[in-house]
A and B are shown apart, each in its own frame.
Chain A
């Protein structure tokens, strides 16, 4: 008897605990009942497909990160060669992960090698004919650069999304190469703003203008070649007759300061009361900026954002920590831009692989049909079990309901997300859940027909079938595990539901259902028939 009492107590305790975690918060939230925070925290979260929101998958173009690295190294080598007075006919990038130097005179070969050793730590160097050298990034260096780029991009996106003020965003790396970033923004409906903000590189560079603005590239590059250490950058003409047309600036390649030197950026107004972004540099940046502006009073300073000159004001005096980016911005653009600058630049460009917007009404429809389907499925199964197994059907029904309570409890406790496929998993769990009961009941019937006693039949039914149930559940768990591995987002929700359902079913079908049988038997002294 005491054995049975323990089993009953366990069953009741499990019901209360899982019910409080999994079911009560849902009811409380629906009817607006005040609930302790411990429980509201456990409210089963809805996936994007049910709640509405934006789902984006981006790919980080990690090649960009390699190219930038190669470019930087090449420029460093160029400087080294210049200081060491080593002549070459040219340095050029070869693809994304390497560069080459051509035309090193044989008598300067040794000097070149000494200079090259300084940059070659991350590069494999090959010497060719006629003084040609190729530098190729070492594979392990390239790999870690790629990984870094993705992590950096993810962190930058996280900062930007946080600045956007989205509640409970989810940002994760995914994909076979790990170069994809999944961004989920529940409740966001302004997709375009979110997309623009996430994707903007946000690379700010301040560079000294050597020449320009000029309406044509050719005017800045006599003989068609860009002078060493210089760059031609496009911009938009801001005044005069040609306002709005593209103009070009010849700027120094080395940036005076970049976005990395920023301490803050905020919307403000320029001298004509047009929207602009004011920025403050950190101390290191301010020192550099002060030095360069002090040396270049009277020249123009190009403010370049993502490779485009926004404005090129004249440097009137030495500037240290504060500056302003003005251009033809709208108020919203200014807000977005300061947000992007505050959150730092992306190490590589991003492309969108997938974007999904689910309106809140669409999600609500899905919830409604999911709930109806669950209710209909439940009623059909319960009616069948009651008609077919009579009293034993009541046991199965209680076990089934408890199974669903535990399932919701496990999901809420784990902080799992309910998705539309998750609802399908919920409905499927009901079907598969009664499977175990049927298996046991049919076995009990067989034992009864073999003229065993009622108690013996029940015990045999449960104990004989237990191993079979372990086998079937483990087999199903194996496929659920691979499903989880395969899936993203909603499909994972399905796999998790299935998984939790299988585990809780093993408990309710064997332990709870048997306890209920024992409870019935304990109330009668002589048992000769069983309603099954």
Chain B
């Protein structure tokens, strides 16, 4: 079986359209973030969430009513939603944090929510989980998340520059930043909470998105040696086409596993799975349309002979390449002999 075999699509011709499309998505995302903000999960926003399991599932409105009547300050700021599978009859109530971080009083809000629901006469229920996060935590987390992302990108830049060339590294990192922005845009469009798990997914996307890009770049480098007279554009086009089947297949397979997570992984992992789904799709797209395009913008479109004068960084590979035939030769002969 074969999909996308021997394609000959001129991807580079579409690079301007791709750039435009990416900007539209990213700018729209930024606009939504600027106007409505990114919904922040409890780890970042602070506050209290209480998960309760009821004997008879009340409606969200009934829970909200109980809060309006009995929770100090009313329930207008509260988020009420079903939690997990409907058969578990669970509701989650989240209220923002009141006041400063202060010793023992942290759990008072959780107790107040429980009291309010009790007073609301919604039948028997048990508190199965609470989460209380003081306001100081989120700030530190955002800072650390940002630092981790930046360092991770810098690490990738350095590694690819070392193994390939600077222009390739810039291409890969620009593609990855592109993916992060697109992921944030989709989180904003679909109003998924920014949680720790989502941050973990975003950091995973940085690694994953580079994967596809490296596979294509690897082929570009291999082809640069054989296609010295062709323009960089042609080399890139051929390389993308040659690896297209593989790129789409692997993205599809990883998508399968993440989609399984999205539908069956439970409430807590849904945001993670959504982020990964968007990240995988945009990662594949950016590997094909963005990363290589950046390389051409960076280096110009002239013939590639200059490129073949590989900088020192590719030395290890060109040194490794001639060895391959000799390594292959032995089993080959053996095979014929047997």
A282, chain B: closest CB distance, angstroms: 31
The reply to whether B257 and A428 form a contact with Cβ atoms under 8 Å apart is yes
Contacts of A175 in B (CB 8 A): 140
Stretch at the interface among A119-127, A129-137, A203-211, A356-364: A356-364
The reply to whether B256 and A362 form a contact with Cβ atoms under 8 Å apart is no
B103 at interface, CB cutoff 8 A: yes
Contacts of B253 in A (CB 8 A): 381, 384-385, 431, 434-435, 438
The reply to whether B258 and A498 form a contact with Cβ atoms under 8 Å apart is no
B136 at interface, CB cutoff 8 A: yes
Across the interface, name the chain B residue whose C-beta is closest to A374: B260
Mark A343-374 against chain B: 1 for CB-CB distance below 8 A, else 0. Answer: 00000011111111111011001100110111
Contacts of A373 in B (CB 8 A): 260-261, 263-266, 269
The reply to whether B214 and A475 form a contact with Cβ atoms under 8 Å apart is yes
Give Cα A351 to B103, complex, Å.
4
A192, chain B: closest CB distance, angstroms: 7
A407, chain B: closest CB distance, angstroms: 14
B235, chain A: closest CB distance, angstroms: 17
Stretch at the interface among A105-113, A146-154, A306-314, A456-464: A456-464
Residue from A196, A365, A481 in contact with B88 in the complex, judged by beta carbons closer than 8 Å = A365
Give Cα A79 to B201, complex, Å.
61
The reply to whether A445 and B2 form a contact with Cβ atoms under 8 Å apart is yes
Given contacts A353-B137, A434-B253, contact A369 B265 (CB under 8 A): yes
Residue from B101, B107, B204, B215 in contact with A428 in the complex, judged by beta carbons closer than 8 Å = B204
A17 at interface, CB cutoff 8 A: no
Give Cα A424 to B127, complex, Å.
26
Residue from B200, B214, B255, B324 in contact with A483 in the complex, judged by beta carbons closer than 8 Å = B200
Interface residues in A, total, Cβ within 8 A: 89
Contacts of A380 in B (CB 8 A): 256-257, 259-260
Contacts of B263 in A (CB 8 A): 373, 376
B99 at interface, CB cutoff 8 A: no
The reply to whether B129 and A475 form a contact with Cβ atoms under 8 Å apart is no
Given contacts A195-B107, A472-B215, contact A421 B260 (CB under 8 A): no
The reply to whether B327 and A463 form a contact with Cβ atoms under 8 Å apart is yes
Across the interface, name the chain A residue whose C-beta is closest to B316: A467
Please report which residues of chain B, range 98-154, place their CB below 8 angstroms from some CB of chain A when the two chains form the complex: 101-104, 106-107, 126-134, 136-137, 140, 143-145, 147-149, 151-152
B290 at interface, CB cutoff 8 A: no
B3, chain A: closest CB distance, angstroms: 8
Mark A151-190 against chain B: 1 for CB-CB distance below 8 A, else 0. Answer: 0000000000000000000000001100000000000000
Contacts of A481 in B (CB 8 A): 155
Given contacts A377-B257, A476-B210, contact A421 B106 (CB under 8 A): no
The reply to whether B156 and A479 form a contact with Cβ atoms under 8 Å apart is yes
The reply to whether A456 and B101 form a contact with Cβ atoms under 8 Å apart is no
B335 at interface, CB cutoff 8 A: yes
Given contacts A387-B1, A455-B332, contact A467 B137 (CB under 8 A): no
The reply to whether A354 and B260 form a contact with Cβ atoms under 8 Å apart is no
Contacts of B301 in A (CB 8 A): none
Question: How many B residues are at the interface, by size bracket?
Answer: 35 or more
Stretch at the interface among A217-225, A249-257, A271-279, A486-494: A486-494
Across the interface, name the chain A residue whose C-beta is closest to B84: A365
The reply to whether B331 and A455 form a contact with Cβ atoms under 8 Å apart is yes
A446 at interface, CB cutoff 8 A: yes
B185, chain A: closest CB distance, angstroms: 21
Please report which residues of chain A, range 473-523, place their CB below 8 angstroms from some CB of chain B when the two chains form the complex: 474-483, 485-487, 490-491, 494-495, 498, 521
Contacts of B206 in A (CB 8 A): 479
The reply to whether B335 and A453 form a contact with Cβ atoms under 8 Å apart is yes
The reply to whether B207 and A480 form a contact with Cβ atoms under 8 Å apart is yes
The reply to whether A474 and B159 form a contact with Cβ atoms under 8 Å apart is yes
Give Cα A46 to B189, complex, Å.
35
Contacts of B1 in A (CB 8 A): 387-390
Contacts of B134 in A (CB 8 A): 351-354
The reply to whether A482 and B152 form a contact with Cβ atoms under 8 Å apart is yes
Contacts of A432 in B (CB 8 A): 208, 211, 254
Residue from A421, A435, A471, A487 in contact with B218 in the complex, judged by beta carbons closer than 8 Å = A471
Give Cα A417 to B338, complex, Å.
50
B163 at interface, CB cutoff 8 A: yes
Contacts of A381 in B (CB 8 A): 253, 256-257
Contacts of B208 in A (CB 8 A): 432, 476
The reply to whether A355 and B324 form a contact with Cβ atoms under 8 Å apart is no
Binding site for B on A (CB under 8 A): 49, 57, 59, 175-176, 191-192, 195-196, 199, 349-359, 361-362, 365-366, 369-370, 372-374, 376-377, 380-381, 384-385, 387-390, 420-421, 423-424, 427-428, 430-432, 434-435, 438-439, 442-443, 445-446, 453, 455-456, 459-460, 463-464, 467-468, 471-472, 474-483, 485-487, 490-491, 494-495, 498, 521, 525, 527
- What are 11 A-B contacts with C-beta separation under 8 Å? A351-B102, A354-B132, A365-B88, A420-B266, A424-B201, A442-B249, A459-B332, A467-B218, A472-B215, A494-B197, A521-B335
